[in-house]
Structure 1
Amino acid sequence: MKILLVGEYSRLHNTLKEGLITLGHEVTIIGDGDEFKNFPVDLSIRPKTFDLPFFSFLRKGFYKVFKTDLAIWEKGLRFYFHLSKLKGFDVVQLINEKPIKTTPRFERYLLKKLFQQNKSTFLLSCGIDIISVEFMLRKKFRYSQMDPYFENPKLKPEYQYILDYDNPQHRKTHNLVFDHIKGVIASDMDYKLPLEGHPKFLGLVPNPVNCSKLKYVPQQLQKEIVIFLGINRFTYHKKGIPLFEEALVIIQKKYKERVKIITAESLPYEEYIERYNEAHIILDQVYAYDQGYNALEAMAKGKVVFTGAEQEFLDEYRLKEDEVCINALPNAIKIAEKISMLIDNPEMLQPIGQAARLFIEREHDHKMIAKRYLEKWS
């Protein structure tokens, strides 16, 4: 089959492409590389002009006056110039219901062209979309990444990206997409739960992970326990980073020379991976029921990851609490208690890391997941 993957989040589409190619399919990715993470794509819509010094200055001035980012127009234009290459695919999969990330009206224009030129289109729910936003706004989760905003509305600028999904212009985009797609697939429990009962929901297909590219290294007991925290300012509160930082202050005071804490901020993917390789424990995210991509890749390497692992996740995969990763609850003291448990009992690190690797091989292997996508698309 000839397959077009539109957009990229956290290397999901790249890994799916690797699995599909091993099964003999032809795959093209078009996208911006997930911005600063800079993942590879076959057809790039990454803004170049408005990243240049002079045009960057113009971009900032234009935004101050008109509250519009010229770079998102450039993404749309670059997608438009690729349209002639985006014809005749057997399957098109959108990473999100606004995968191009240009202005709403331009997004709809480009999506209509894409739908007209191809046979079957499917949608992934693996990031913020209108259905998951409505679920969070109605507080149907026990907790969600919206909680910091609910507690402190002054955080609205950080949450504007999410809130923009719940406006009339985006609703038009959402309706257009759902009028044309054959179905929508969830990548983890955080997106499965809001979609349950939707007539176009095709079910959960876990994130694909290419274990052959991720070397498993058994945890080695050392004098120091190394803890890694990656910080993305764009998702600072949404990921619960302040809670991790508060927990680390407790840990640093309690253990001093027995721990080494590494923090890294808004790094490109390759550099981010290099920085966390020496860690025993990875602090990933708090406000989640399931693991995101960074957590899964760290688990494949045998790291002990603090991330989403709620009861719904445990039931889905028939696991025990903290068996393959540590459920990071939205409470800094509880997070610190779980970190302390591992520091006081370092012999626990290796079995959890090994179980994590086996879990990824069993449930997330990219070739197996590619086959599941093919089944859904059929």
Structure 2
Amino acid sequence: MKILLIGEYSRLHNSLKEGLVALGHEVILLSSGDYFKKFDTDYSFHSSFLSGYWLPRKIKNILHKLTGIDLEKAERGLRFYLLLPQLQNFDHVQLINSDAIETFPFFSRFLYKKLFKKIKNRSLLICGDETPVIDYLLKRETHYSILTPYFEDNSLEKHFEYPLKYTTKKYRKTFDWLVENCQDLIASDLDYKIPMEKMGYSVYFIPNPINIQKINFQEQKINDKIVVFLGINRASYIKKGIPYFEKALRIIQEKYIEKVTVIISENLPYKDYINLYYTAQIVLDQIYAEDQGYNALEAMAKGKVVFTGAGKAFMDHYNLTERINVNALPDVDYLVNELSFLIENPESIVTIGKRARAFIEREHEYVKIAIQYLEAWKKKTLL
């Protein structure tokens, strides 16, 4: 098959591409690189002119401040439009989400219509914020979610512009159009599968693909100090619960001044990010989740102990009886206690790290996951 993947926010599509290529398929990936993360892509629609030069960037910022219009969205849409003539003879196209091109919703629909005339088999991936997911979270039926800080303090609304945009009429129209024009809806973890099903959508559940050939397992060696790593993305700082980690780390640094080294990074390109956490035994990923995001899975594949989503729904789904990570909760005392246990019992870091790698190999191996995607696409194609 010749397959087109559009959009990249986490390296999910890159790893899926690698799995599909290993199975003998031809795959092309288009994306913006996702800003500072700079993910690999075959063709880019990154807004390099408006973000890469001082004067255009200054004009863009002034216009945005005065009118609310984001010219970078226009540039991304235009660059994608110019790529359309090269997107020929594909058997399948998959979008990373309904805003895969990262342009204005009306422009997205125009571009999708152009593209879909050429490619008849299509799938929409649900692997992050999306209209039904946010609709469900706004019902407040869960103990906590990425919107919990917003519910507790509405003055934080600015920090939630990105997830809340999917509930506006223009983004909802795009999502509804894609549901009608894609054969498959695929959810990548339980944080999206559960809301989609609660909102009445039928989805294939296919876990994130992790290329374990590129991620070497490191059995954790406990030296004089335990290294704890926290990577911060300012755009998702509040919704990932990073302030809880920061408060817990301040207490841990005072409590174990001779036993702990803390590394904190902020807004790093993906390749720099993974190199920086190489020496860590413990990685703090996110609060407010039931399942693991992509960074957490890659850290687990290396054998690190990751604080992330690992609630009852996750443990039950995978029939787990032993911890493969640490379920992170919005509770500073709880986080301090969990970190303290690991620091005082370093052998548990080694044990959990081994289990984490075994779990990734069993449930997330990239070629196995690529096969699941092919099977999902094929089922609908044959109907």
TM-score w.r.t. length of structure 1: 0.98
Cα distance in 1 for residues equivalent to 2:13 and 2:301: 18
Which consecutive segments of 4 or more residues in structure 1 shift more than 6 A?
none
User: What letter corresponds to residue 14 of structure 2 in structure 1?
Assistant: N
Structure 2 counterpart of 1:57: 58
Deviation at 1:9, TM superposition (A): 1.6
Deviations 1:229-267 (A, max 9, x none): 001110001110000001111111211111101100000
Residue 246 (structure 2) pairs with residue 220 (structure 1): no
Alignment of 1:112-191 (within 5 A): 112-191=113-192
Q: Which amino acid aligns with 2:214?
A: K
Aligned to 1:305: 306
Find the aligned partners of 2:354 and 2:215 in 1 and give their Cα distance: 13
Moved more, 245-254 or 15-24: 245-254
Q: Matched residues in 1 for 2:273 and 2:198: separation?
A: 38
TM-score by length of 2: 0.97
For 2:288, give the aligned amino acid. Answer: Y
Could you tell me which residue of structure 1 aligns to residue 336 of structure 2?
A: 336
SS at match of 1:166: coil
Instruction: Supply the distance in 2 between the matched residues of 1:175 and 1:295 (Cα, whole angstroms).
Output: 31
Alignment of 1:227-306 (within 5 A): 227-306=228-307
Q: Distance in 1 between matches of 2:55 and 2:23?
A: 46
Unaligned runs of 5+ in 1: none
Separation in 2 of the partners of 1:61 and 1:195? 38
Structure 1 residue 203: Cα displacement: 2.1
3-state secondary structure, aligned to 2:256: helix
2:229–2:282 Cα contact (<8 Å) kept: yes
Cα deviation, residue 306, structure 1: 0.3
8 Å contact from structure 2 (residues 196, 203) kept in 1: no
Higher mean C-alpha displacement, 80-89 vs 131-140: 80-89
Does residue 37 of structure 2 align to residue 37 of structure 1?
yes
Per-residue CA deviation, residues 190-223 of structure 1 (Å, 9 max, x unaligned), is 0010122667623210000011111111011211
Question: Would the aligned equivalents of 1:202 and 1:376 in 2 still touch at CA under 8 Å?
Answer: no
Distance 2:186 2:202 in 1: 6
- CA deviation string 1:81-107 (max 9, x = no partner): 011122331111110011101011111
CA distance in structure 2 between the partners assigned to 1:44 and 1:147 by the alignment: 35
Deviation (angstroms), 1:311: 0.7
1:369 maps to 369
Amino acid at match of 1:6: I
Contact kept? 1:219, 1:353, Cα under 8 Å: yes
> Can you list the C-alpha shifts for 1:274-317, whole angstroms capped at 9, x where unaligned?
11000010000001100000000000000000000011111111
Equivalent position SS for 1:296: helix
Partner secondary structure for residue 215 of structure 1: coil
Structure 1's 116 and 198: CA in aligned 2 closer, same or farther, altered over 3 A? farther
SS of alignment partner, residue 227 of structure 2: strand
CA deviation profile, 1:325-358 (whole Å, cap 9, x unmatched):
1000111110111000101111101010000001
Residue of structure 2 equivalent to 1:22: 22
Q: Aligned partners of 1:229 and 1:135: how far apart in 2?
A: 29
Counterpart of 2:346 in structure 1 is 346
* Structure 2 unpaired stretches of 5+: 379-383
